[in-house]
Amino acid sequence: MSMIALSNTPYLRAKALASVGPLILGVYASHYFFVEHVRWLERMVDNPYLRGITYLAVVFLLALVTSFMLARWRGTKQFVT
């Protein structure tokens, strides 16, 4: 996902991905926390394929929201952008 967000190819240009690009460092740094703390999700989903997709999406969204919130504060903006 980070390579897509940082790439500048014409067919992948989208405003949504462009806005995520500067936050990728924060997403990468903070996703480790969520990888360990969202393990409870594995017990809730029975289908192994759906479990993997759900786990990946939840971890990415939580890391993205965390990076977005940290980027809004002056003291932590330099660490996530």
| Boundaries of every domain in the chain | 22-80
- pLDDT attached to residue 62: 92
b/e burial code for range 69-81 (CB count within 10 A of at least 16 → b): ebbeeeeeeeebe
- pLDDT attached to residue 30: 86
Q: What is the pLDDT of residues 14-50, one digit of tens each?
A: 677 667 777 878 888 888 888 888 888 778 888 888 8
Residue 38 structure tokens: 């969202």
Confidence band of 11 (pLDDT split at 50, 70, 90): low
